[in-house]
Amino acid sequence: MRLNDALLGVLLFGVAIALFLGSRGFPSIPGQQIGAGAFPTVLSAGFALCATILVISGLRSRLPAIVWMDWTREPNGIRNVVVIIALVIFYIAFARQLGFMLTMAPIIFVMLRLFGVGWLASLAIAVIAVLGMQYIFGRFLLVPLPWGLLAPIRWW
């Protein structure tokens, strides 16, 4: 999804305003004229400048407002992107309760199926990958991956 430069400029102008308003409330360092708000204010001015230039060049370019990139015309392109984002959100929501392995295995499985890998192969890869990662990261690299429901059968 490629926005016209003018549209992108409007979007950035919004960012500039939000940044400016957000940084007005910061108190200054006692005894100084300068404080926590100074730097974000400079940044918001930068955003406003870029936004202005983009709006002008976008309006002059006469390109359509939104150009749909090639990937949106791929069969399943949009579906794949949306599903992957949803899968990561699924992990964030359930990893603590279900544990690393029970959340990650379905994620890998669904993704493999999405890309057209066979049922059996997907299942095998998902299980092996999850077991391997839990072992390498959990045991060897000391990352405290949650065990969740599987905690009672934890083997180390």
For the segment 86-145, give every residue that binds another protein (CB under 8 A). Answer: 87-89, 91-92, 95-96, 100, 104, 107-108, 111-112, 114-117, 125-126, 129-130, 133, 137, 141-145
SS3 content of the chain, % helix, strand, coil (to 5): 70, 5, 25
Positions in 9-68 near another protein (CB under 8 A): 12, 15, 19, 22-23, 26-29, 32-36, 38-40, 43, 46-47, 50, 53-54, 56-57, 60-62
129-156: b or e for each residue (b if 16 or more CB lie within 10 Å)? Answer: ebeebbeeebeeeeeebbbbeeeeeeee
Minimum distance of another protein from residue 16's CB (angstroms): 9
CA 36/CA 40 separation, integer angstroms = 8
Minimum distance of another protein from residue 152's CB (angstroms): 22
The residue among 10 and 15 lying less far from another protein, judged by its C-beta, is 15
Q: What angle is formed at CA 81 by the lines to CA 80 and CA 84, rounded to 5 degrees? A: 85
For residue 125, give the H/E element and its range: helix 119-133
The residue among 64 and 116 lying less far from another protein, judged by its C-beta, is 116
CA 13/CA 22 separation, integer angstroms = 14
Q: Is 149 in the site for another protein (CB under 8 A)?
A: no
Minimum distance of another protein from residue 68's CB (angstroms): 10
